[in-house]
Structure 1
């Protein structure tokens, strides 16, 4: 009943976030039920069912990531809701549980709708092309779909509960986040990038193809060596960890010397938000780099494309992009007081718009650097 009353006060962004969570959960539930139907249709034994379940992990992780980012943005986007809950006697832990329950409820709705569609299609509605995916002609264990679909709301709700810090759920509890990055993090990210690039160069040396046993990649991506795959993974992780520091350094570079008001606003704003924007932008950049590399390989190698990885890639990209949009909306809400103060002091709206455009250009250049390097290393390791 509480969530029904809460839904009455939804605005368009709240409703869109709720529907996106339900839609993403429905797609992941479809992947899980397809793996169950294939396992019932195929002969017993073999590694096929396990491989199909492992294919469901990337979209499940993407949904959990989006749920975490969306749940973290609720206290900042709707402070009046948090203030009302606090006035009603709800503590910080209670508020965090309520936010996680809202995310889990949306995921449950999407999973239930997918389960209903799965059961309807099994009732002699689907054609012979979908029969293996639905496990038609084989009795369906009642506990199997329920156990599989329980993973979706459980994972999304847990991620949402862990993402909302207790100190930020109460009105006025948000503290000023630091703008710098630790030396150890920068050193770790740089070390991973250098070691990964060195491993991939070793794997690409002349005669290296004859060393060891090649690893056959899924999704029709051919094969690669252990050194190339490990080197790319290390370098991709290092570049992702470096995204936040690079954004902060780009902001400082904009404000270096005697900056104009345009450069000063753009640089200080980017430096202040680099920590919060680094993680979602790094995930989106990594996903885009992987998708572009896969599409490039599929185009160069005819008849190697696979429909299932393409659908999963669309879901992962959609969740990553939605997480970035949610974080940007959260940042805009946090900067609303600063923007209003600048306008009251007589700052031109054109100057504020120019600062936003300059920050966007700096962010795009940084992501082009990290994403291009990630995609280039991935393309070099495929053969």
Structure 2
């Protein structure tokens, strides 16, 4: 064995993707120092997206004070890449971590994400990649679009409050004041889910409970998104319900499609194309990937499956090293993952296990390399 490519997501709440890749490299080198390793920290549009792109392409972070999800002021970062494009992680401005203890998707807004987009445009960016994982919102992206100049009006011509609750009052949409520079921009949305905007598999029913919504709130939010989609269809001629991923980030996916003509793409594939991953693995003997938890949901565009799909094209073996292994993993083997290893050394709660994640990850990779050395 001469070359191993390490391409892992973060272990959310524990280790960044950069840390995971580095620890895996150290585990490999302890047993087989002669093996060439290549690290590709991965993110699929959620936590770590900025760092992953900066690591891949180079550039700098920009810090800006924007409107947080509860209309307070927060500091948010985005990336200006060396190729002139920008990467925005919506969770920086509109994320769930910013409302800890005050979760209520009826009252949250994506306005701050729109302010980050405006800032990137004013700095000359004409290609903007937006990662939309980890949101605290369910406003259909009207907050974001309001920041860009779109007017969402009530019957009395006053503007609605751009929140999930405010959508109920929407009567018509006026795009005449939309930032004119947007017409010259390309927007790519890094999206790791394929949920529709509304309905039983939509933004509200699937994700709003994670953001603090009870059963009654979920029903209201879903009805409001359906109402919003109807107004968009009438006023703009766009059928948002037909777009896979429109329900991502509480409907921000839909808002980006409707108001900036964004393309919704697999987050991991955007990054893999950026680093020319197919070329990187051409001469690899093994690919090691990973994420915090792997289960049947990983089939819906998560990092390990994105890696496996690329590996299958070139007949490369893939090992997944993960924090925990959930249900319905058999299908993962059919997609190109050859083996899955959990780093946990003993049965214990996450609060305890996360304290030992670095050591446990290192030890697990060390054991894998010892096994490979025996059977080679």
Which bracket does the TM-score occupy, shorter chain normalised? under 0.3
| Larger RCO, structures 1/2 (Cα 8 Å, 6+ apart) | 1
- What TM-score do you get using the length of structure 1 for normalisation? 0.23
Query: Which structure carries more helix by proportion?
Result: 1
Of the two, which has the highest radius of gyration?
A: 1
Query: Which structure carries more strand by proportion?
Result: 2
- What TM-score do you get using the length of structure 2 for normalisation? 0.23
